[in-house]
Amino acid sequence: QKEVEQNSGPLSVPEGAIASLNCTYSDRGSQSFFWYRQYSGKSPELIMFIYSNGDKEDGRFTAQLNKASQYVSLLIRDSQPSDSATYLCAVNPIGYGQNFVFGPGTRLSVLP
Amino acid sequence: DAGVIQSPRHEVTEMGQEVTLRCKPISGHNSLFWYRQTMMRGLELLIYFNNNVPIDDSGMPEDRFSAKMPNASFSTLKIQPSEPRDSAVYFCASSFTEAFFGQGTRLTVV
């Protein structure tokens, strides 16, 4: 059973702070990792993907991957109220072709 | 590209009726996914196609659900007969390396 786990939240941070979202996965052979943002009533939107150990930065977002620890995180710097959403972690396990396993999501609330 | 296109956006139907959801994937993508999302169960994979061939349908709840992909640019998800517990948002997604979602169909079965 391929599993992806996230804290359901809600995670509340003040505006301007760093929000840290975490995800662990069970399949050690997983190759690709994705973060999606989903606003209430909307569809999931891809915001970051990472394939190699280390950090990947895109604007205010940084994805961090540690395959040895089976851990991937998303940091949001200078959090804005517009970042308030549910963040879904997705993993492409080895042998799954192009299938994806999604975590349950973490609800983030950025307080003005 | 217009992205993944789903229709209808909203569907209200009576229990026992047949429901057909439609999806047009992004051109050039070779994988297509149908997901169902509810508050209780989150995002669940129903079925996954690769190059128009169903690869994994283990998430399809029961025989009332069926999905087809007759060509690379069109897929359907059919529920017959529908039941109130099928009420959910159904998403179609397509991918080549990363998955992109359509806007979803909100299904209400009364």
Tens of pLDDT, residues A48-81: 999 999 999 999 999 999 999 999 999 999 999 9
Chain-chain contact of A45 with B101 (C-beta, under 8 angstroms): yes
CB contact under 8 A, A105 and B33: no
Rounded to whole angstroms, the Cα distance separating B108 from A77 reads 39
CB A104, CB A8: distance < 8 Å: yes
Q: Which residues of A6-41 are buried (b: 16+ CB within 10 A; e: fewer)?
A: beeeebebeeeeebebbbbbebeebebbbbbbbeee
* B74-79 sheet: strands from edge to edge: B5-7, B19-24, B74-79, B65-71
% of chain A residues with pLDDT over 90: 81
State the pLDDT at residue A7: 86
* Segment A24-43 mean pLDDT: 93
Q: Which residues of B touch A49 (CB under 8 A)?
A: 97-98
B106: closest chain A residue by CA: A41
Q: Report yes or no: B31 at the A interface, CB cutoff 8 Å.
A: yes
A33 in reach of chain B (CB within 8 A): no
Please list the rounded mean pLDDT of every run of 10 residues in chain B (110 residues): 93 98 96 94 92 91 94 97 97 93 98
**Are the C-beta atoms of residues A71 and A101 closer than 8 Å to each other?**
no
pLDDT band at A41 (very low <50, low <70, confident <90, very high): very high
* pLDDT over 70 (residue A1): no
Inter-chain residue contact B43 with A44, CB threshold 8 Å:
yes
pLDDT at residue A86, as a whole number: 96
| Candidates B45, B95, B102; nearest CB to A43 | B102
**pLDDT single digits (tens) A80-91:** 999 999 999 999
Nearest to B98 by CA among A31, A25, A107, A65: A31
Residue of A54, A108, A43, A89 lying closest to B37 (CA atoms): A43
Which positions in chain B touch A104 (Cβ < 8 Å)? 42
pLDDT of A94 above 90: no
* A91 token code pair: 């993993």
* pLDDT for B70: 97
> Does A32 contact B97 at a Cβ distance shorter than 8 Å?
yes
A103 in Cβ contact with A49 (< 8 Å): no
